[in-house]
Amino acid sequence: LKRLWTSLHFKTEVFQNLNKEDMEKALMSLARESHEEYDCLVVCLLSHGDLGKVYGADSELLDIHEVQSYFYADKCPSLAGKPKLFFIQACQGPEKQTGLNVETDGGILEGWEADGPGKKETIIHNRADFLSGFSTTPGDMSVRLPNKGSIYVSILCRLIKEYANKGQDLLSILTVVNQQVSDLNLKNDSGDPVPIKQVPHPCSTLTKRVVFRRVT
């Protein structure tokens, strides 16, 4: 993750094994900084978790929505109108999901962009311009492979790097991430021959397309 974001011209900082209180302090401190010279914020949280929450090293749960509130427009005005991206590798519950064999017709619906007026002053919704990229759907487990780590993080990093060089926007990239993760048949540790399925769950209030600079 650090290599990816550094290659995309982000200033990066890594924290490891923080308890809940220290995670809160680190993120509050980040929210209090001036971000006038920056175009975007990315926060990656990798831990165990439950629905809408991640665990600190002290096994206390940190609420993701509360953390995001530190960066609302009225609390962090230097990020108002700028994308705030949160990627969460953590279980969102205990459920293991399986799948169903189906036949589908292939097809692509082309996206569209609307022309709009020039720059103008506006009131920005506090919760606008956020993206939460969860590694799995609400209530479900998120799989990590022995010696390989998170399949979600691995595929996410590879595809952002690949498609950033092609000028693709982030939501389009995350759709491909969903496809590639959900295509995998993951071994069921319980001995059940039916494979476990996983699909990431991006949630967006972005008001503009997010396109990263080309990878160096």
pLDDT tens sequence across 10-22: 999 999 999 999 9
Give residue 215's pLDDT: 63
pLDDT digits (tens, 9 = 90+) for 33-69: 999 999 999 999 999 998 999 999 999 999 999 999 9
Q: So which residues are the catalytic ones? A: 48, 91
CATH level 3 topology of 2-97+126-204: Rossmann fold (3.40.50)
- DSSP, residue by residue, 62-82: EEHHHHHHTTSTTT-GGGTTS
pLDDT band for 115, please (50, 70, 90 cuts). Answer: very low
Q: Residue 156: is its pLDDT beyond 70?
A: yes
Lowest-pLDDT choice from 19-23, 118-122, 206-210: 118-122
pLDDT band for 131, please (50, 70, 90 cuts). Answer: very high
> CA angle, 210 as apex, 152 and 108 as ends, to 5°?
70
Considering only CA atoms, which of 78, 174, 83 is closest in space to residue 135?
174
Task: Give the domain ranges of the chain.
Answer: 2-97+126-204
d(C-alpha 135, C-alpha 123), whole Å: 32
